[in-house]
Amino acid sequence: MATSTDTIASPITINAATLLPLKLTSKNFAAWHLQIVSLLEGLNLFGYIDGSYPCPPTTIKVDRADVLNPAHAKWKQQVRLIYSAIIGSLSENLVSTISKAALAESKAAAAWTILTTLFANKSRSRVMILKDKISHISKGSKPVADYFQEIQQIADELALIGHPLDDLDIVIHALSGLGPDYKEIIAALKARDIPITFEQLFEKLLDYERFLKKDELALVDIPIATANVAKKTFHPLPR
């Protein structure tokens, strides 16, 4: 829960350009969500958007008289600052999606609700779409780094909406999407007694990708008739 505003000298200003460099798009909600939560929790401000720190009363009793509550004014100002920071962390085409939040008492909480509802939809159809997407993902001509980033992004989205994949499932999806150029290392990995982790797989495939590129360059200067004889064999993993 956020600290009561009467213990804070002044509301905390959040420079979105500096503290929230990752702007929300239609494809990076999981990373953006982590960025926002980490920052607001670090500043002890998350209670302003999750409802655990509601608006203090407008007035308080002082010597039996109703006077304006300074905590109320501080709360309203802090909410506006958080709302402004959220706007600053959105890509331009998404700013309009939270325009209605400006009418709410807690603009920051309303904006947060709109965005999490929009991007972290927990419906069955959303889960099915993501699981189907990751099961059909393929490396194609993409670099290994881009391929793994795409897989990790979908896995992060599934985790965010309450349907995380375990590490073995993610590894299986990654191996299934590799092309025939990777059949040698796939066979070696499947023969392991101890399953490889997703992070370890990433490193192994980066090494194998470099091996393939070097092999292709070497074959450029080798006559076609002798290319197959000269081609080296890659042994990525000990049995």
pLDDT tens digit sequence for 214-229 = 866 665 555 544 545 4
Helix or strand run (H / E) with residue 65: strand 65-68
Q: Which residue has the higher pLDDT, 3 or 104?
A: 104
Asked if residues 101 and 83 have their Cβ atoms less than 8 Å apart, the reply is yes
State the pLDDT at residue 5. Answer: 39
- Cα–chain-centroid distance for residue 216? 35
Q: How many CB atoms lie within 10 A of CB 220?
A: 7
State the pLDDT at residue 220. Answer: 59
pTM of the full predicted structure? 0.66
Q: Which two tokens stand for residue 27?
A: 């494809």
Q: Could you report the per-residue pLDDT of 175-210, keeping only the tens digit for each?
A: 999 999 999 999 998 888 888 999 999 999 999 999
Q: How many angstroms separate the CA atoms of 5 and 56, rounded?
A: 9
Confidence of residue 237 (pLDDT cuts 50, 70, 90): low
Estimate the share of the chain in helix, then strand, then coil, as percent rounded to the nearest 5.
60, 5, 35
